[in-house]
Chain A
Amino acid sequence: MSLLRNIASGLRSLFRNEQVSQELEEELNGFLEIAAEEKMKHGMSHHDAIRQVRLEQGSVDMTKEVVRSAGWESFVETCWQDVRFATRMLGKSPGFTAVAVLTLALGIGANTAIFSVVNALVLRPLPVERPKDLAFLENAHYGPSQSFPNYKDLRDRNQTFAGLIGYRMAPVELETDRGALRIWGYLATGNYFDILGVRPALGRCFNQNDDLRVGASPYAVLSYSAWQSRFGSDPAVVGKTIRLNRVPYSVIGVAPPGFHGTEVFYWPDVWVPMMMEPRIESNSWLDSRNTWNTWIIGRLKPNVSLSLAEADLNVVAAEMARQYPDINDGLQFKLAKPGLIGNMIGRPAKAFAFGVLMLAALVLLVACTNLAGMLAARAADRQREVAIRLAIGAGRGRVVRQVLTETLILSLLGGAAGYLLASYLSEALSRWRAPLDFPVQFSVNPDWRVFLFALAGAILAGMLFGSAPAWRASRTDPNTALRGASATWGPGRLAFRDLLVVVQVALCFVLVSASFLSLRGLQQALKMNLGFQPEHVATAAFELNLAGYSEERGRAFQQQALQTIQQLPGVQSASYSNSVPLSIDQSHTGVFPDKPDLRPSDRIGVTFYQVSPEFFATIGTKLLAGREFNWHDDANSRQVAIVNLAFAKRVLYTDNAVGKRFRSGITGPFAEVVGLVEDGKYGSLTESQQPAVFWSILQAYNSATTLEVKSSLPATQMIGEVRQAIARLDPQLPLYGVGSLTQMLGFAFFPTRAAAIALSAFGILAIMLAVTGIHSLLAYAVSRRTQEIGIRMAVGARPVQVLRLVLGRAAALLVLGSLVGLTLALAVGKVISSIVYQTQPRDPFVMITAWIAIALLGLFASWAPARRAMRVDPLVALRHD
């Protein structure tokens, strides 16, 4: 109650200032008059009485001030005064204000943009119910996928989860009026929506009862965005039939907006019950314990910790290992945060994001030193003003508040501009679609976390660069300051600004060397031997099972398509395979060496491809020994294989592989090696040499194949020809993955490229900031020393000596800053090499280049001030002030 009254009364005097003040004045005047009347009763004249009362009580105005400043509103009022005054002062120097706000906007904007990416990847919870209780279950040794029978065992035997969902990303072909369209969806177990706690926007989601028997539940739940973009937001979509992979499904519901499954980067169009898997994918693996295709997320029961749940899962795992020793031997689980396929993508993505965020923070720090320098100069210029304010009775606290208000206004303006910049950047990033056959998308739209981050960044920056000038101002001695501004030009002041230059140069060095490192990493990654030559190779893929081809017709079609394409003008060679190296789709298998008494532990994991004749000639992989496959390596001949060098060493224990044999399973048939090829990169650019085996695709049919076409024409032109040639054979067949091999590599190069772009942007920002910073500090120093320089020149100093005076100090600071920067750069090199591949954090070439760059920019920044110093006219300078 009394608090309310207090606030109300305070507000009244804030907003009806005039009236309240008048009332108080009237009351005080009345007080004076009554007091005077009393005195007049004792015989004083009216004039004397008033005078006497004034002497005793102080003036009415003074009392008014005392009463006014007692309420809380007076604090608000003085703040408001400070704000108005600060705005006026900033308005008076629009150049300074613009540069300061821009500097801050760049620093805060860069940080906020990077933070919104981190936020989207790592911090923002999944759009489901109680996301904190969800955990992604991964195999401690083999990564994120589990087999479906193992999933069922885990689901039924665990004690610590309220439920486990199994799901898988799957491409499907949607029939539309304009032909078949390849879209992406999720296969998900019946409990998926219930466990995640997702309620439909329209219709219903499927549940446990819709997922009981294989093939019995042709239901589809559309994603909200698919409903909007592919079905025109049709309110009557529920109950309609759509055809996925040529099988009719009835649409039973639409997922709520914003829900896009459990992976932060993946935006599917449709969910289908897991029991439809054999209809969606061509091979059924629901009963195969050795096909690791299912991802699992569990919802923990209340009050169950992650470690308890892990222990519980591993008890079940031990049972499962006893039951199926040949498959589940050594089975162990651990739990990870959901959203990024466990630690597979999660760990490198987090390391990358935080590394970049750290460098972005350095950019902000450079911006802050910049502003600190500018403000220090401004504060020195305004010393007289501060001194006058102190002299006429302003408290030092008030002076500090005034300076801080000004910097806070600057930093909030800069923060607002930076936030706008970041929103623009992240909106562009959200709209951006990776040129991949995969619905990758990041929802990096700023939310309240990003806003708070920008606000905190702005305030922190303001404190950082504003506290020194504020402290300085509070220590102003009005006596000396008013006697002459130059009197306070002491060594301490110089040292502070010198320190700023050193810090700025050091930080700039770190950022510049980071961006050089990343560019060099990118350059090396692009030059790296991939084990194949992606230039001039066009690709196109199709899937024949889904298009209704039997195996027999499919084989015939694949060969027919290849022959047609080989006859196109300009084609040098062509082949087809199940996949190409460094694309998203990589397959792994286990092989065994040719030796007696094989045990499960002798299994060696290898990457495998199924390829047609001429595959290596087409993608430009060197054949080191033996031969390529030919058209006789088919189902009727013995099992043959081509292996890479790493395979020869690991599995065959020799470089002389041709003619050797190995087993594809512990009791499986032997395969004879007919060719040896060079090593290459298969999964990622960073992997160590992986053993790889190539099977003849004629010996094991695969309905999903990619065509590779090497020609003398540019790949972009070849693609059109290939498309037409296939359309002539089957106009209905949808093609995907159409493009060049170089384009396809975009996926593999994406992290390196993104890092190089981000770090180069930081480097450029840092250089811009450092140049303006050093320039303004030197320019200010010169302008302050104009008089001194004038005197020196008047007594006979030559321009060279003046130049040495100005540049000598700058050079010394530059060298010192670079040394500090070099030490820092070596220290943070580890961070940089964690976000950029192929970097050596101590690359001397990079360090020297960075040093030269810094020296050049230092020279550039000090050029104008130095020239000004040399042109000082002693006559003018000495008349100065």
Chain B
Amino acid sequence: MADKPGDLIQGTLDMLILKTLALEPMHGYGISVRLEQMSKGVFRLNAGSLFVAFQRMQRAGLIKSEWKATENSRRAKYYALTDRGRKRLNSETREWGRQVAAITRILEA
């Protein structure tokens, strides 16, 4: 797949962030930790690509942000899904499933 571990397939980062935020609003670090945990350490994102993605998705209207206090009463920007983001997540998940199934069929043939 990717050349080195931790590199994402192009275009999938947005989907993963959407998925992470589907449960609850989170701040940037939370998202990166959650992604790392859920992928069992396969995806390690640096802050640069993460924040570029936030900016891009926010401009596309998929997520929205709000300054809130963390559990340690620190100020952080929390990102949450918009309706549009939720729809996008659904459609992308379906599409992803279709493609993975197809690729698997080809690889196992």
Partner of B47, one of A9, A63, A70: A63
A5-B61 contact, Cβ under 8 Å, with A27-B77, A38-B33, A67-B51: yes
| Min distance, Cβ A625 to any Cβ of chain B, angstroms | 96
- Do residues A31 and B74 form an inter-chain contact, with CB atoms below 8 A? no
| Min distance, Cβ A371 to any Cβ of chain B, angstroms | 41
A37-B77 contact, Cβ under 8 Å, with A2-B59, A9-B58, A28-B51: no
- Do residues A2 and B52 form an inter-chain contact, with CB atoms below 8 A? no
A71-B48 contact, Cβ under 8 Å, with A27-B76, A30-B27, A34-B27: no
* Cα distance, A414 to B79, chains bound together (Å): 51
* Cα distance, A9 to B57, chains bound together (Å): 12
A-side contacts of B75, CB under 8 Å = 26, 30
Q: Does B104 belong to the interface (CB within 8 Å)?
A: no
Q: Does A655 belong to the interface (CB within 8 Å)?
A: no
| Min distance, Cβ B94 to any Cβ of chain A, angstroms | 21
* Cα distance, A26 to B58, chains bound together (Å): 18
| Min distance, Cβ A817 to any Cβ of chain B, angstroms | 55
- Do residues B59 and A6 form an inter-chain contact, with CB atoms below 8 A? yes
| Min distance, Cβ A5 to any Cβ of chain B, angstroms | 5
Q: Does B96 belong to the interface (CB within 8 Å)?
A: no
* Cα distance, A10 to B29, chains bound together (Å): 24
Report whether over half of chain B's contact residues are helix, strand or loop; otherwise say mixed. Answer: helix
| Min distance, Cβ B56 to any Cβ of chain A, angstroms | 7
- Do residues B46 and A56 form an inter-chain contact, with CB atoms below 8 A? yes
Interface of chain B residues 21 through 65 with chain A (CB within 8 A): 27-30, 33, 46-49, 51-52, 55-56, 58-61
B-side contacts of A30, CB under 8 Å = 27-29, 74-77
- Do residues A66 and B70 form an inter-chain contact, with CB atoms below 8 A? no
- Do residues A5 and B48 form an inter-chain contact, with CB atoms below 8 A? no
Q: Does B72 belong to the interface (CB within 8 Å)?
A: yes
- Do residues B51 and A34 form an inter-chain contact, with CB atoms below 8 A? no
| Min distance, Cβ B73 to any Cβ of chain A, angstroms | 12
Partner of A63, one of B30, B48, B77: B48
| Min distance, Cβ A796 to any Cβ of chain B, angstroms | 65
Q: Does A236 belong to the interface (CB within 8 Å)?
A: no
* Cα distance, A63 to B45, chains bound together (Å): 12
* Cα distance, A56 to B29, chains bound together (Å): 13
- Do residues A5 and B70 form an inter-chain contact, with CB atoms below 8 A? no
* Cα distance, A27 to B58, chains bound together (Å): 15
* Cα distance, A30 to B79, chains bound together (Å): 14
A70-B76 contact, Cβ under 8 Å, with A1-B61, A58-B47: no
Binary CB contact string for chain A from 13 to 43 against chain B (1 if under 8 A, 0 otherwise): 0000000000010111011011101100000
| Min distance, Cβ A65 to any Cβ of chain B, angstroms | 9
- Do residues B74 and A70 form an inter-chain contact, with CB atoms below 8 A? no
Q: Does A305 belong to the interface (CB within 8 Å)?
A: no
Partner of A57, one of B46, B61, B74: B46
Binary CB contact string for chain A from 38 to 68 against chain B (1 if under 8 A, 0 otherwise): 1000000000000000001110001100110
- Do residues B51 and A63 form an inter-chain contact, with CB atoms below 8 A? yes
* Cα distance, A38 to B30, chains bound together (Å): 11
A-side contacts of B52, CB under 8 Å = 66-67, 70
Residue of B nearest to A65 (CB): B48
- Do residues A9 and B59 form an inter-chain contact, with CB atoms below 8 A? yes
Residue of B nearest to A13 (CB): B55
Residue of A nearest to B53 (CB): A70
A-side contacts of B72, CB under 8 Å = 34, 37
| Min distance, Cβ A236 to any Cβ of chain B, angstroms | 63
Residue of A nearest to B65 (CB): A27
B-side contacts of A2, CB under 8 Å = 59-61
- Do residues B46 and A71 form an inter-chain contact, with CB atoms below 8 A? no
A-side contacts of B74, CB under 8 Å = 30, 33-34
Residue of B nearest to A6 (CB): B59
* Cα distance, A219 to B34, chains bound together (Å): 91
| Min distance, Cβ B79 to any Cβ of chain A, angstroms | 10
Residue of B nearest to A23 (CB): B77
A-side contacts of B28, CB under 8 Å = 27, 30-31
Binary CB contact string for chain B from 60 to 97 against chain A (1 if under 8 A, 0 otherwise): 11000000001010111100000000000000000000
* Cα distance, A2 to B83, chains bound together (Å): 13
B-side contacts of A9, CB under 8 Å = 55, 58-59
A-side contacts of B49, CB under 8 Å = 66
* Cα distance, A26 to B27, chains bound together (Å): 13
| Min distance, Cβ B88 to any Cβ of chain A, angstroms | 11
* Cα distance, A38 to B70, chains bound together (Å): 13
A-side contacts of B61, CB under 8 Å = 1-2, 5
| Min distance, Cβ A58 to any Cβ of chain B, angstroms | 6
* Cα distance, A66 to B70, chains bound together (Å): 26
- Do residues A5 and B59 form an inter-chain contact, with CB atoms below 8 A? yes
A-side contacts of B27, CB under 8 Å = 30-31, 34
A-side contacts of B48, CB under 8 Å = 57-58, 62-63, 66-67
* Cα distance, A26 to B77, chains bound together (Å): 9
* Cα distance, A9 to B61, chains bound together (Å): 11
* Cα distance, A62 to B46, chains bound together (Å): 11
Residue of A nearest to B28 (CB): A31
B-side contacts of A57, CB under 8 Å = 46-48
* Cα distance, A33 to B61, chains bound together (Å): 28
- Do residues A6 and B51 form an inter-chain contact, with CB atoms below 8 A? no
- Do residues A31 and B29 form an inter-chain contact, with CB atoms below 8 A? yes
B-side contacts of A37, CB under 8 Å = 72
B-side contacts of A10, CB under 8 Å = 59
* Cα distance, A10 to B58, chains bound together (Å): 11
Nearest first, the 6 closest Cβ-Cβ pairs linking A and B are A66-B48, A70-B52, A34-B29, A6-B59, A57-B47, A67-B51
14 A-B pairs besides A35-B29, A38-B33, A63-B48 with CB distance below 8 A are A24-B51, A27-B76, A28-B51, A30-B27, A30-B77, A31-B76, A37-B72, A57-B47, A58-B47, A58-B48, A63-B51, A66-B49, A70-B56, A71-B59
Interface residue ranges, A against B (CB under 8 Å): 1-2, 5-6, 9-10, 24, 26-28, 30-31, 33-35, 37-38, 56-58, 62-63, 66-67, 70-71
Show 24 residue pairs from A and B whose CB-CB distance is below 8 angstroms, ordered by the A residue.
Answer: A1-B61, A2-B59, A2-B61, A5-B61, A6-B59, A24-B51, A26-B75, A28-B47, A28-B51, A30-B77, A31-B27, A31-B29, A33-B74, A34-B29, A34-B74, A38-B33, A56-B46, A57-B48, A58-B46, A63-B46, A67-B48, A67-B51, A67-B52, A67-B55
